């Protein structure tokens, strides 16, 4: 599907320049470790240069190993003008900023300035740090130690980015106390406004030629106008999304709206503290906040203790939910009245008032009878109950109209790049989700020799994926493969429950059989730490769910088997999925064929992509789900995967691991 880039038209003259840059005597050869010319990379760079120079849109799928990062960075640095690059993860964001862009800039001798912009929760806040130091409310020794590290760090850092302080874990609770949120930022009223790290990062981004953001930040900004991207967009000539397959989900998250009982509880606690500090005589603060907090807790209790997801139309009219919602709205309204009376006495009380008004407005979208669903057919209203909190969501049925609107206006180029956007070279699913039906989409195959480097194994005689004890059957089938490979395996599960059961079983079996493979389980440590330990061990088995299906790069022999328990179909009880399928079926389309299947294929391609990361990697992709063979749609799935040799015979898997590693011809 790699139609030659036409050299006709106004920008064809840059083709020769791109060929020289990516060629055997080009500047990248000495500058990029292990660089050598790859035809797919050069052709992709030409197509991107063409889209940038013509202010056009391009959807670009590049197989693993194509070198897509440099294929978009070189044209962006040379011809992109003011460029925003948005990535799927903060890790990739840091990699681009610290490693890849400096490499390209140096190789091309291009005098472009670069800035990194993250969400405000990543930057230390002077005001909140000082308040936390004064309050002295920390309970654990760990928190006190972390706070000491942070107060030292703020004196030496020029960015305030918490990623620079590796001695305090990224998920340490103390970070919440020393960073600001949109709700708790004092803005230009703050005494530290001139030293503010968030403002400094935004100012640098304003002035830089290339700004690196992530998708969460990009869409939070487009939706909330809160992260500094909104100020960058008007002047941007080029916008590049890497890991663009994640956009539909990220955009859905941010163009929707969520309000939770824990936000209300947090507001009550802040209001009580600020009221007692600044207006003790102004109201009976514990009574006012206590009534609202109790109403929020009562709303959570209208659903059972275990986690629940329900669309609003599934909540019975007789449910205690609606009366409890009305009671919370009334209590919040009474608290707002008190805050309106007292807000002028302190800036922090005014802030509590603004937050309360905003929460009340969001709760107001859920009228006491739930008829909102009828009123706005483009939104899905649904609730999610957690152990101690209830979330009320409004989610757009489709992001296509919203995203199309974002792309109107100033002419500029939009590049959407990923290793997984198409289903068997068909981009329709992706372009329909994103509202880009008539935009050009191109695909460049991986340079890897998958037929000799890999084997796709679907075990015979597996139970059906919905059978009781299915995870045990997966472990029984996987153990001989893990043994044959000498560990060196990822086990990717579709649910956390399966992760936990698989971990329990493997721990048991390794001990019983005396197998020396270190076992690493998602949740036992951060993702980066688990991966570092996995690489270092060289014979480990790592069990993970969704967060390990993508953005994970383990090259070489440390990873030789990827085992996938089930085809990653979205859970059928998802209210947003159900509403989207219903909408498709109204149009006469088949929800499974046009939505669930392509989504599952793109997800599976991501998981499968963990296995072969360079020309010398070899490995087995084991998919335990026999629907790949037995269902009519199975062919469409495996034809979308890399063209591995296929088998159902365990003996062939063992033989694969016994043969000497073959360096592929491309190597």
Domain 14-119+201-253+399-444: CATH architecture, name and number where available: 3-Layer(aba) Sandwich (3.40)
What end-to-end distance do the CA atoms of the chain give, in Å? 24
Please report which confidence band the pLDDT of residue 662 belongs to, taking 50, 70 and 90 as the band edges.
very low
**HEC string for 165-179:** CCCCCCCCCHHHHHC
pLDDT score at 417: 96
Please report which confidence band the pLDDT of residue 13 belongs to, taking 50, 70 and 90 as the band edges.
low
pLDDT score at 550: 79
Residues 561-615 pLDDT 10s: 999 999 999 887 888 889 999 888 888 988 899 899 999 998 898 888 888 888 8
How much is the mean pLDDT over the chain? 87
Domain 450-658: CATH architecture, name and number where available: 3-Layer(aba) Sandwich (3.40)
Please report which confidence band the pLDDT of residue 10 belongs to, taking 50, 70 and 90 as the band edges.
very low
pLDDT of 1 strictly over 80: no
pLDDT score at 664: 36
Q: Evaluate whether the domain defined by 257-396 bears CATH number 1.20.120.
A: yes
For 258, the token pair is 């969520």
501-508 CB contacts, 8 Å cutoff, 24+ apart: 501/471, 501/472, 502/471, 502/474, 502/475, 502/543, 502/565, 503/543, 505/471, 505/472, 505/475, 506/475, 506/541, 506/543
Where is pLDDT greater, at 72 or 528?
72
What angle separates helix 285-300 from helix 261-278, to the nearest 10 degrees? 170
pLDDT score at 30: 83
Residues 455-497 pLDDT 10s: 999 999 899 998 999 999 999 999 999 999 999 999 999 999 9
pLDDT score at 376: 67
pLDDT of 224 strictly over 70: no
Residues 158-168 pLDDT 10s: 999 988 888 88
Q: Are 283 and 275 in contact (CB under 8 A)?
A: yes
Q: Are 212 and 156 in contact (CB under 8 A)?
A: no
**Which of 62-66, 272-276, 372-376, 447-451 is predicted with the least confidence, judged by mean pLDDT?**
372-376
Residues 185-219 pLDDT 10s: 888 888 898 999 999 998 898 899 999 998 988 88
pLDDT score at 5: 32
pLDDT of 665 strictly over 60: no
pLDDT score at 611: 87
Domain with CATH 1.20.120 in the chain: 257-396
Rounded to 5°, the CA angle 432-564-483 comes to 160
Q: What are phi and psi of 170, to 5 degrees?
A: -60, -30
Domain with CATH 3.40.50.300 in the chain: 14-119+201-253+399-444, 450-658
pLDDT score at 666: 34
Q: How confident is the model over 247-275, as a mean pLDDT?
A: 90
């Amino acid at each position: 599907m790699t139609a030659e880039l036409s050299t006709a038209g106004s920008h064809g003259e840059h083709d020769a320049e791109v060929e020289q840059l990516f060629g055997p005597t080009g500047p990248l050869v000495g500058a990029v470790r292990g660089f050598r010319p790859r035809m797919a990379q050069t052709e992709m760079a030409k197509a991107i240069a063409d889209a940038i120079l013509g202010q056009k849109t391009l959807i670009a799928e590049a197989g693993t190993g194509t070198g897509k990062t440099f294929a978009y960075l070189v044209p962006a640095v040379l011809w992109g003008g003011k460029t925003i690059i948005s990535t799927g993860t903060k890790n990739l964001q840091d990699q681009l900023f610290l490693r890849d862009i400096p490499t390209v800039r140096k190789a091309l001798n291009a005098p472009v300035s670069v800035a990194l912009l993250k969400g405000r929760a990543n930057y230390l806040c002077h005001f909140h740090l000082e308040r936390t130091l004064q309050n002295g409310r920390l309970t654990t020794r760990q928190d006190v130690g972390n706070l000491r590290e942070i107060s030292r760090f703020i004196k030496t850092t020029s960015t305030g980015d918490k990623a620079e302080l590796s001695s305090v874990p990224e998920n340490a609770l103390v970070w919440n106390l020393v960073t600001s949120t949109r709700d708790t930022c004092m803005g230009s009223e703050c005494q530290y406004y001139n030293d503010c790290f968030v403002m400094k990062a935004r100012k640098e981004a304003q002035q830089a030629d290339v700004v690196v953001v992530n998708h969460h930040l990009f869409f939070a900004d487009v939706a909330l106008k809160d992260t500094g991207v909104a100020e960058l967009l008007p002047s941007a000539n080029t916008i590049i999304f890497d890991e663009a397959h994640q956009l539909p989900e990220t955009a859905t998250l941010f163009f929707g709206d969520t309000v939770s009982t824990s936000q209300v509880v947090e507001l009550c606690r802040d209001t009580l503290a600020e009221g007692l500090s600044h207006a003790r005589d102004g109201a009976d603060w514990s009574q006012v906040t206590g009534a609202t907090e109790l109403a929020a807790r009562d709303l959570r209790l209208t659903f059972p203790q275990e986690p629940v997801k329900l669309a609003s139309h599934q909540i019975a009219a007789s449910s205690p939910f609606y009366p409890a919602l009305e009671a919370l709205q009334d209590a919040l309204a009474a608290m707002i009245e008190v805050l309106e009376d007292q807000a002028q006495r302190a800036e922090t009380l005014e802030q509590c008032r603004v937050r309360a008004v905003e929460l009340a407005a969001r709760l107001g979208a859920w009228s006491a009878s739930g008829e909102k669903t009828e009123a706005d057919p483009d939104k899905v209203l649904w609730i999610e109950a957690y152990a101690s909190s209830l979330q009320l969501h409004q989610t757009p049925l489709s992001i296509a109209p919203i995203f199309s609107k974002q792309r109107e206006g100033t002419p500029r180029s939009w590049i959407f790049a990923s290793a997984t956007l198409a289903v068997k070279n068909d981009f329709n699913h992706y372009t329909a989700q994103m509202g880009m039906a008539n935009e050009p989409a191109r695909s460049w195959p991986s340079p890897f020799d998958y037929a000799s480097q890999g084997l796709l194994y679907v075990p015979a005689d597996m139970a059906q994926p919905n059978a009781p004890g299915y995870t045990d059957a997966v472990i029984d089938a996987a153990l001989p493969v893990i043994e044959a490979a000498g560990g060196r395996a990822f086990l990717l599960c579709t649910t956390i429950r399966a992760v936990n059961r698989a971990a329990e079983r493997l721990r048991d079996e390794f001990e019983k059989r005396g197998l020396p493979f270190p076992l690493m389980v998602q949740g036992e440590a951060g993702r980066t730490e688990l991966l570092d330990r996995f690489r270092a061990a060289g014979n480990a088995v790592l069990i993970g769910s969704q967060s390990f299906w993508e953005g994970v790069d383990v090259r070489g022999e440390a990873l030789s088997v990827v085992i996938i328990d089930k085809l990653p179909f979205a859970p059928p009880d998802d209210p947003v999925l159900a509403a989207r399928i219903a909408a498709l079926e109204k149009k006469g389309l088949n929800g499974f064929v046009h939505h669930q299947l392509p989504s599952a294929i793109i997800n599976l391609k991501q998981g499968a992509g963990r296995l072969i990361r360079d020309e010398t990697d070899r490995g087995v992709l084991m998919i335990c789900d026999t629907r790949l063979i037995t269902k009519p749609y199975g062919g469409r799935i495996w034809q979308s995967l890399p063209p591995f040799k296929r088998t159902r015979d365990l003996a062939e898997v063992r033989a694969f691991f016994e043969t000497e590693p073959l360096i592929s011809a491309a190597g």
